[in-house]
Amino acid sequence: MATTISNSTNFSFEQLLRPHLKSIEAYSSARSEFSGSANVFLDANENPYSEQFPYHRYPDPLQKALKAAISGLKGISADHLFLGNGSDEAIDLLMRAFCEPKTDNILILPPTYGMYKTSAEINGIEIKRVNLEAGSFELDAQKALDAVDKHTKMIFICTPNNPTGNNISDESIKHIARQFKGLVVVDEAYIDFSPNSSWIHFIKDYPNMVVLQTLSKAWGLAGIRVGMAFAHPSLIQILNTIKPPYNINSLSQEQALKVLAQPEKMRNTTEGVIKMRQKMAKELLDIPYVKQVFPSHANFLLVQVSEADKLCILLREKGVIIRNRSKEVHCEGCVRITIGTEYENNILMREMKALAEVL
């Protein structure tokens, strides 16, 4: 049966929701209306003569098997979980659910992940900014709270933060979650590289909190586009109502299930990345034009050099691509370097050392 968003009760999701969505019905796909078992499926205009078995069928619109696996791994029930075509889809859907174009705004904390801004701009939503502190990239929670107005629907907190690599302090996040009347979106794309524990288990204490994670980074599945949002079931229901019906394709659901069945492999590779990150951080500091390597809890390093633009251009000529972040606020002279394979890292270090002659 079609469900409407107005079933949501707790907190004030109802009040936060864009008015025209309060009575909207989800598109009712053939696969979502029938959820029992049957032998004859003649409800979705698929091609039964196809040799593409089982891909001639539409995928499960609510990804039940995949959600069950994630729910087991994370220790939280599946009704607290939304899956998106990458967490970027969850970011976009959150804005489309709660922010009225030209009226509402979001608060971001630069320097941070670029999609919050891009998604807001695409959706015609105003952006407020409170910069993280220069040098430490810590968050002044009170400053953030002072910047919001009655149209601020969400605050995006990325921890560990991209591109700086540091964790945002627990106290700041709690302070904001307690005081802010809108949604607090905690983006944990890099959580598996961090010693900190996830905020997933706090969504019961803070009903206005949404935690984003992804299979793109530590899980090594950037190509299949699967992202997760953990939140109160009423909010999950809202996202499910407005998402494209078949947003995660069958191949992605299948591959995700396979990889999630072996979490120890993910943990082994992330441990390797962390060791490599520590080694590279030290080695980079030996290069004369490297001024600073910021502490990182992610799978990349933010590195301050004397001439970032020039370094990126010269490395590119050698076939080595790193990310220039020097135009970001408080990131003067900074580049972001992903921890790669030993082979890639060795080439990067060799080329960077060689450039000490000219930089």
Ligand X SMILES: *Cc1c(COP(=O)(O)O)cnc(C)c1O
> With respect to ligand X, which residue has the nearer C-beta, 206 or 300?
300
Nearer to ligand X, 112 or 237 (CB): 112
CB 225 to ligand X: min, Å: 7
Rg (Cα) of the chain, in Å, rounded? Answer: 22
Q: Which is nearer to ligand X, 74 or 217 (CB)?
A: 217
Q: Give the C-alpha separation, 324 to 336, whole Å.
A: 6
Least CB distance to ligand X at residue 227 (A) = 3
Q: Which residue, 59 or 227, is less far from ligand X as judged by CB? A: 227
Nearer to ligand X, 87 or 234 (CB): 87
**Taking the complex as a whole, how short is the minimal distance between the CB of residue 88 and ligand X, in angstroms?**
4
For the record, the structure tokens of 43 come out as: 């409800």
The token pair at 125 is: 């939503």
Question: At closest approach, how far in Å is the CB of 158 from ligand X?
Answer: 5
Q: Which is nearer to ligand X, 32 or 162 (CB)?
A: 162
Nearer to ligand X, 330 or 353 (CB): 330
> How far apart are alpha carbons 244 and 2 in whole angstroms?
14
CA distance 4 to 328: 42
Q: What minimum distance in Å lies between the beta carbon of 348 and ligand X?
A: 20
> Of 2, 328, 285, 341, nearest to 163 (Cα)?
328
Helix (H) or strand (E) run with residue 116 in it: helix 115-122
Q: How far is the CB of 48 from ligand X (least distance, A)?
A: 34
Q: Are 307 and 289 in contact (CB under 8 A)?
A: yes
Q: Residue with CB nearest ligand X? A: 86
Q: What is the distance between the alpha carbons of residues 120 and 129, in angstroms, rounded to a whole number?
A: 12
Cβ atoms within 10 Å, residue 289: 16
Nearer to ligand X, 44 or 222 (CB): 222
Q: Which long-range contacts (CB under 8 A, 24 or more apart) does 322-331 make?
A: 322/348, 323/163, 325/111, 325/163, 328/110, 328/111, 328/163, 329/110, 329/111, 329/131, 330/110, 330/111, 330/131, 330/132, 330/133, 330/134, 330/135, 330/137, 331/111, 331/163, 331/164, 331/302, 331/304
Distance CA 132, CA 113 (A): 13
The residues of the shown chain that bind ligand X, judged by CB under 6 A, are: 86-88, 113, 158, 162, 187, 189, 214, 216-217, 222, 227
Nearer to ligand X, 318 or 323 (CB): 323
Residue-by-residue DSSP string for 177-202: HHH-SSEEEEE-TTGGGSSSPPSGGG
Q: Could you tell me the smallest distance in angstroms from the CB atom of residue 52 to ligand X? A: 27
Closest CB 219 distance from ligand X, rounded Å: 10
Smallest separation (angstroms) from ligand X to the CB of 300? 9
Other beta carbons within 10 Å of 231: 27
Torsion angles phi and psi, residue 211, rounded to 5:
-110, 125
